[in-house]
Structure 1
Amino acid sequence: MRVPFIKMHGLGNDFVVLDARERPLPGTISSSNAKALANRNTGIGCDQLIVLEPSAAHAFAMRIYNADGGEVGACGNATRAVALLHGEAATIETTGGLLALEPAKGGATVNMGVPRVDWNQIPLDYAMDTLSMPVGWRELKNPVAVNVGNPHVIFFVEDADKVDLGTLGPEIENDPLFPERINVNVASGVGENHLKLHVWERGAGLTRACGTGACATAVAAIRRGLVGDAVTVTLPGGDLFIEWREGESIRMTGPATESFRGEFEWDDFA
């Protein structure tokens, strides 16, 4: 059976979107066929596979699979892309919780929910202060941990460009301290209320942009008093604008783009 797809991206973080809200997929998405579709050599190619499904209580549900086939709870860039596709304000379900989205010119504003900062909410393997964790990996030390639907650890350094995240990222991601693995963020200040960020994404590797990473990094910087409550986060793919106050939900604003549409044969990837 031929299945339509939509290729989209947010600041270069790219997705294959399968819209099953009205037309069900021929079968169930598994780790293996998500990984096959995401393969850039033999599949369509993407950082994340996004599946939209009906919801009894909300506008629709969104499921998110990383390029390695693992399912995750949230993806900020994909949520903006889906907002662009949906075309109107909505509340949607994810396995990480409810997200409120609103299309804006060239993209969307997304309410990403209230961040979680307790050690067992990240989760970590044992109790510790998540605002200045007493751990380190080579030159990266004393990170902040934040869960925004996905777990993140954030290191503040003098110059994020000088960190070999391609080497350190997978080492930290798979450390036993993080029982569900971890997304690794390295950030540095580039001006008042302005951060530069590089992200090693759990299950996807180095990425041009990570919406949940930008949200987690902004929350970490605000909690440490490094910035105010409205922050521009510059990633290799471009800028995201993050707003957050203690006890409130995170608001993320940024662009999203539809690249092209096509079809694939379901049995080729089943």
Structure 2
Amino acid sequence: MAVAFEKYHGTGNDFLVCEVSEPVDDWGAFAITHCDRETGVEVDGRRGADGVLVLSIEGGDRVRMRLYQPDGGTAAMCGNGARCAAQWAARRLETDEFAIDTPAGERYARVGEEVIEIEMGVPSFAPSEIPLAREESLIREEVEGWEVTAVNTGVPHAVVFVDDVSTVDLASMAPPVRHAEVFPEGANVNLASRSERGFDQRTFERGVEGETRSCGTGAVAIAVVAKRLGLVEDERVSVSPPGGELLVEVPENGPAVLSGPVAFEGRGEVAP
């Protein structure tokens, strides 16, 4: 029996979207098989994906989202994934504002013609919420030779500000930080550097175990840390990963908001 899917990307961060009712016994194994960049499913000339979003409409007014990553594991939250889920759900719910239930909590979505906004929850520097293997926050301290600030924006992130993200060998520097002892559950590793519009971004994602074209929770992490360190004063911060531009709103009180475009890539069927 075949499994139907749709594929979306948010600023290059791409996902296979499946309904929970599809005949799949092990979604983790499904993600390992079909997200592989060399042998996975091919849509519009690109193989694989950054994850599988398993979705269901709940109660007629909200969508339930679970993300399975290319290594077979799960992530509690994914900003670009939630924006893709919102695009998928909007026409089924026939409304442009609704809630998305994630393991990280309830997130509200607003779907516009060109931009989809997701409330990302309140970021936390608390060691127990990241989590860290210590009782103090990690703010601009050396980890594996890099000045790191740690924050949870739905999942744990290590943020490193550099002069130019394009000059850093992310594939070499990120794994030691991602697996550092201070991060008992690991962390996504984000590089950020100043740009004309805000900050450029590159991210090594936990679970993907490599660089992705975009990371929504990482963009929020960069904006939140930049504000914490006094690098920006505005509540709205532009963050540009390789796949496009994202806008992050970081209010003094309340949840951060992630905004950006989403594109439909195609649909198809694969073996379970």
TM-score, length-normalised on structure 1?
0.91
RMSD over aligned Cα, in angstroms?
Answer: 1.6
2-structure distance, mates of 1:186, 1:162: 11
Matched, 1:135 2:142: yes
Partner of 1:4: 4
2-structure distance, mates of 1:135, 1:58: 46
Partner of 1:231: 237
1:43-192 → structure 2 map (5 Å cutoff):
43-44=40-41, 45-55=48-58, 59-87=62-90, 88-132=96-140, 134-138=141-145, 140-141=146-147, 143-191=148-196
Query: What SS does the corresponding residue of 1:238 show, helix, strand or coil?
Result: coil
Checking the alignment, whether the CA contact within 8 Å between 2:143 and 2:177 is kept in structure 1 is: no
Query: What SS does the corresponding residue of 1:259 show, helix, strand or coil?
Result: strand
2-structure distance, mates of 1:208, 1:151: 18
Checking the alignment, whether the CA contact within 8 Å between 1:80 and 1:107 is kept in structure 2 is: no
Query: What SS does the corresponding residue of 2:217 show, helix, strand or coil?
Result: helix
1-structure distance, mates of 2:86, 2:30: 25
- Identity over aligned residues, as a percent? 36
Stretches of structure 2 that go unaligned for 5 or more consecutive residues are 42-47, 91-95
Which residue identity does 2:254 align to in structure 1?
E
Structure 1 residue 27: Cα displacement? 3.4
Partner of 1:33: 30
Partner of 1:194: 198
Stretches of structure 1 that go unaligned for 5 or more consecutive residues are none
Structure 1 residue 56: Cα displacement? 5.5
Which residue identity does 1:131 align to in structure 2?
I
Structure 1 residue 102: Cα displacement? 0.9
Query: What SS does the corresponding residue of 1:119 show, helix, strand or coil?
Result: coil
Distance 1:93 1:159, change over 3 A: same
Checking the alignment, whether the CA contact within 8 Å between 2:144 and 2:180 is kept in structure 1 is: no
TM-score, length-normalised on structure 2?
0.90
Between 146-155 and 48-57, the greater mean CA deviation after superposition: 48-57
Structure 1 residue 58: Cα displacement? 5.9
Q: Which 4+ residue blocks in structure 1 deviate beyond 4 angstroms?
A: none
Checking the alignment, whether the CA contact within 8 Å between 2:82 and 2:100 is kept in structure 1 is: no
